[in-house]
Amino acid sequence: EPEVTQTPSHQVTQMGQEVILRCVPISNHLYFYWYRQILGQKVEFLVSFYNNEISEKSKIFDDQFSVERPDGSNFTLKIRSTKLEDSAMYFCASSKLSTGNQPQHFGDGTRLSIL
């Protein structure tokens, strides 16, 4: 069964450094998403992306965050200047469509640790 794949599985970064998290969505999916989950807390929506542009973003997704689809397969999340509170699991998800009964399928996540 097709999967969403994410790399790396664990990223350790010094505060203030830039980090790029990578995702390969399921190949016939058109909508891509980033979520994060701080340890012990809810899964929170960050951003959705369709047709090479952001379709929706949350208040968390401030100017320090950006997303890009640099080629036909990868979808990346960049955090420009990381803060301690950015430490979390980051999940990429994808879906065929955004409406109706189209579930979002999640990757295994990247654990981001900011020191």
- Positions touching another protein (CB under 8 A) are 31, 33, 35, 41-45, 48, 50, 55-56, 58, 89, 91, 98-101, 103-109
CB atoms within 10 A of CB 69: 17
Smaller CB distance to another protein: residue 76 or 89?
89
Give Cα separations from 67 to 2, 40, 85, 100, 101 (angstroms): 23, 25, 19, 25, 25
Smaller CB distance to another protein: residue 12 or 15?
12
- Residue 9 beta carbon to another protein: minimum distance, rounded to whole angstroms: 11
The Cα 58–Cα 99 span in angstroms is: 18
- Residue 69 beta carbon to another protein: minimum distance, rounded to whole angstroms: 16
